[in-house]
Chains A and B, each alone.
Chain A
Amino acid sequence: MSSPTLALPGRLFGPALAPAGTVVSATIDALQLVVPLPDGGQLSSPLSRLVLRNAGFDGAQLEMSWPQNVARYALLVDDAGVIERLRQQPPAALQPAITAVFAQRRKARVRRGLGLSAIAIWIGLPLFALLLLFLTARPLAGWLAGFVPLAQEQQLGEWVFKSQAAQLDLIENTAANAAIQQIGARLAPGSRYTYHWHVARQPELNAFAIPGGHIVVYSGLIQAAADADELAGVLAHEIEHVELRHSLKAMMRQAGLRLAIGIVVGDFGVAGEAAGRLSGLQFSCDSEREADVQGLARLDRAGIDPRGMLSLFAKLDAQAPGTAPPAWLASHPTTPERIAELRKLIDRRSATQLQALDIDWGAVRASIGR
């Protein structure tokens, strides 16, 4: 292979030269490297004495060094184009050295790629696991909830209720308490859960179920209900959340996710606290539908007119048509959709013996004030 004379612009380092190097335009041919000096002199080295290596801060420069006058001189070539040209047309005597230098570069690139991949995996794997957990959280929590013994669930509910009670303005010993107690007893006869009914002074139309049988009804909901049948509809729905362990599952899911996020991302303080609040427990649409359907059956068994459930839903929908649904429906399927589904079910069911609730609803509403 013929090797023409190649220009090698670079910086020359050596004794009695500037420590930061002197700009030179060297040339290389089949026999030797020639470096003209700024003072008119010239250095040269036969190719056989040149030592090549990757040099510089980023290892992208090519260093050719050689011994001369008991010292060592080095030419650093920075220009990537020049280095590439040298790779393509190397002088025969330099070919093995140049091949070795480029093999080293390739190896460094591969090692860098591997390192970056390892770092990416290191960061990505926990995030991927977190994503996976998010996607499977519901079925996973549902499955795990099956292993929680009843006594444990009740203990948990007790503890949760106690920790929440301080934040709730509970109303006690009123006609309203007695009324929901009475409705509750009608709705859940012979249940494996012992229900504890609570009324909290809160204008929102909301009620929530704590695992193990504590159910909190906001006074706003009682005020909004036209009669006992309407409230019974909501209570039946909440009872189903307990019976079907929706509250337990949702709580386990949330606690699990918080723990997982905490492990992967670190503590996220206030947001975590907010996410853990009970009234913010999110049930899935499926859970809601299940609670609706089962609640309806429960009303039937208790001989309570299920149209009360329907009319309260309609009332809620009418109260806020198109706008944000009331808090207790926020996570639920849209109200009109649920009303339509319930209506279908009510129309289809066989007629049952209705037994009106013997409650003076006016007195109940009056007992908790306006």
Chain B
Amino acid sequence: MAMDIIDYKIYGTETQFVEVELDPGEAAVGEAGAMMFMEDGIVMDTVFGDGSAQQKNFWGKLVGAGKRLVTGESLFTTVFTNNGSGKRKLAFAAPYPGTLIPIHLPDVGGTLICQKDSFLCAAKGVALGIEFQRKLGVGLFGGEGFVMQRLDGDGLAFIHAGGTLYVRDLAPGEVLRVDTGCIVALTRSVSYDIQYVGGLKSALFSGEGLFFAVLQGPGKVWLQSLPLSRMANRIVMAAPAIGGRSSETGSLLGAGAAGGLLGGLLGDDE
């Protein structure tokens, strides 16, 4: 399958958008609502399903759309095609402060597993699917839920996550313990598991929650420094108008008694 090769430029530092340049006849798919601007000559078309070329029949499209629904995306994908005669530009903007990274799928083995909602846009031909978490413990406590998004293909895809994104290459056998919720994407070769933080004291008072996510190489992982939920939580906590202090979920005491009673006195350091 021929992928469209697109040129791009990322603007901004903390709140970014990506401008992609389409040759005549080339197309890009974008997450619904992500488009920022497009030049004359680019035609927008909304398709049912994920707009990848493999799904020709109705059922394939329906299944694709259902999968998108499970990952929390819209049922429809928007395809932007350059019907003009010269190069045309369009831009996709990130929905909240964070970092936008281009990932050339062949560089990561053709498949990328990423956090729900992190997909922003891709060259047409990249298939958007879901990857079910088969380990119950990881699904429940791993911070990413039971469903992750899966990008397949040999084109360019852009994903977005909160704060600063950090890419880490894991050597065979190398283990990295990560705060749950900070994982943005990983290659299929990386093992993803959870580990109890150990010790009642740590579980209750370390503020790290009950579990770490454990990533074991070989492979590549992308981590975000500031999950949106954490920032949202901080904003809510700082907004007296919409009521009180709350705390990040995952920490047993932090969410309950300490958040209300002790939290106010001691101050959270999260």
Confirm or deny: A65 has a beta carbon within 8 angstroms of a beta carbon on chain B.
yes
Contact of B219 with A13 in the complex, beta carbons under 8 Å: yes
A197→B262 CA distance, assembly (Å): 60
- Tell whether, in the assembled complex, residue B171 and residue A55 are in contact, meaning their CB atoms are under 8 Å apart: no
Q: Let me know if B218 and A57 touch, CB within 8 A.
A: no
Residues of B within 8 A of A14 (CB): 171-172, 218
Q: Give the interface segment out of B38-46, B152-160, B189-197, B204-212.
A: B189-197
Contacts of B109 in A (CB 8 A): 11, 20-21
A20:B135 contact, CB within 8 angstroms: no
B244 at interface by CB-CB < 8 Å: no
Query: CA A19 – CA B107 in complex, angstroms?
Result: 8
Cβ-closest chain B residue relative to A19? B169
Q: A72 is contacted by which of B172, B192, B216 (Cβ under 8 Å)? A: B172
Is B169's CB under 8 angstroms from A55's CB? no
Q: Which chain B residues in 147-203 approach chain A with CB under 8 Å?
A: 169-173, 186-192
Give bound CA distance, A156 to B170, whole Å: 70
Task: Select A65's contact among B136, B173, B186, B188, beta carbons within 8 Å.
Answer: B173
Q: Do the beta carbons of A57 and B191 come within 8 Å of each other?
A: yes
Chain A's nearest CB lies how many Å from the CB of B231? 27
Which of A14, A55, A57, A116 is most buried by chain B, counting CB atoms within 10 A of its CB?
A: A57
Q: Could you tell me how many residues of chain A have their Cβ less than 8 Å away from some Cβ of chain B?
A: 29
Cβ contacts under 8 Å, B188 to chain A: 56-57, 61, 78
A115 contacts B by Cβ under 8 Å = yes
Query: Quick check: B136 and A116 within 8 Å, CB to CB?
Result: yes
- Whether A13 pairs with B218 at a CB distance below 8 angstroms is yes
Please, which residues of chain B bring their CB within 8 A of the CB of A115? 136-137
Q: B97-140, CB under 8 A of A: which get 1 and which 0?
A: 00000000001110001000000000000000001001111000
Known contacts A57-B113, A115-B136; decide if A76 and B218 are in contact (CB<8 Å): yes
Decide yes or no whether A189 CB sits under 8 A from chain B. no
CB distance from A331 to the nearest CB of B (A): 40
Taking the closest CB of chain A, its distance from the CB of B188, in whole angstroms, is 5
For residue A343, CB closer than 8 A to chain B, the reply is no
Are B134 and A55 in contact (CB-based, < 8 A)? Answer: no
Q: B68 interface residue, CB < 8 Å from A?
A: no
Interface string of A38-74 (1 = CB under 8 A from B): 0000000000000000111111010101000001111
Evaluate contact between B191 and A13: CB separation under 8 angstroms.
Answer: no
Convert A116-149 into 0s and 1s, putting 1 for each residue whose CB lies closer than 8 angstroms to a CB of B: 1001000000000000000000000000000000
In the complex, the answer to whether B189 meets A11 with C-beta atoms within 8 Å is yes
Q: From residue B269, how far is it (CB to closest CB) to chain A in Å?
A: 33
Whether A56 touches B134, Cβ cut-off 8 Å, given contacts A15-B171, A19-B219, A20-B107, is no
Q: Which residue of chain B has the shortest Cβ distance to A65 in the bound complex?
A: B172
Q: Is A85 an interface residue (CB 8 A)?
A: no
Tell me the bound Cα distance from A71 to B186 in angstroms: 23
Minimum C-beta distance from B66 to chain A (A): 20
| Cβ distance B9 to chain A, nearest Cβ, rounded Å | 24
Cβ contacts under 8 Å, A54 to chain B: 191
**Interface membership of B263, Cβ < 8 A:** no
Question: With the chains together, A55 CA to B192 CA distance in Å?
Answer: 9
Pick the contact of A73: B113, B131, B172, B219 (CB < 8 A). B172
Let me know if B219 and A21 touch, CB within 8 A: yes
Do A72 and B173 touch across chains, with their CB atoms under 8 A apart? yes
Give bound CA distance, A56 to B172, whole Å. Answer: 11
Q: Is the CB of B191 within 8 A of A56?
A: yes
- Known A74-B173, A74-B218, A76-B218: A59·B107 in contact at CB below 8 Å: no
A112 at the interface (CB under 8 A from B): yes
The answer for the CA separation of A18 and B192 in the assembled complex, in Å, is 20
Smallest CB-CB separation from A10: which chain B residue? Answer: B189
CB distance from A336 to the nearest CB of B (A): 49
Instruction: Determine how close the nearest CB of chain B comes to the CB of A214; give it in whole angstroms.
Output: 44
List the A residue with the shortest CB-CB distance to B108: A20
Which of these, B107, B113, B172, B186, contacts A13 with CB under 8 Å?
A: B172
Q: Is B217 an interface residue (CB 8 A)?
A: yes
Chain B, 214-244, contact with A by CB distance < 8 Å: what is the 0/1 string?
0011111000000000000000000000000
CA distance A115 to B136 in the complex (A): 7
User: In the assembled complex, how far is the CB of residue B213 from the closest CB belonging to chain A, in whole angstroms?
Assistant: 12
Partner of B187, one of A15, A20, A63, A71: A20
Q: Of all chain B residues, which has the CB nearest A18? A: B107
Map CB proximity to B onto A167-196 as digits: 1 under 8 Å, 0 otherwise.
000000000000000000000000000000
- In the complex the two chains form, is B220's CB within 8 Å of A19's CB? yes
Tell me, in angstroms, the Cα distance from A11 to B107 when the chains sit together: 13
Tell which of A21, A71, A111, A119 touches B189, judged by Cβ atoms closer than 8 Å.
A21
Closest to A17 in B: B218
Give me 17 other A-B pairs in contact (C-beta within 8 A), A11-B109, A13-B217 excluded: A20-B107, A20-B108, A20-B189, A20-B219, A21-B187, A54-B191, A55-B189, A55-B216, A56-B188, A56-B189, A56-B191, A59-B191, A61-B188, A72-B173, A76-B218, A108-B135, A115-B136
> Please, could you name 15 A-B residue pairs with CB atoms under 8 Å apart, sorted by A?
A13-B217, A13-B218, A18-B107, A19-B220, A20-B108, A21-B109, A21-B187, A56-B191, A57-B113, A57-B188, A61-B188, A65-B173, A72-B172, A72-B173, A74-B173
Closest 7 CB pairs of A and B: A13-B218, A74-B172, A19-B169, A115-B136, A20-B108, A20-B109, A72-B172
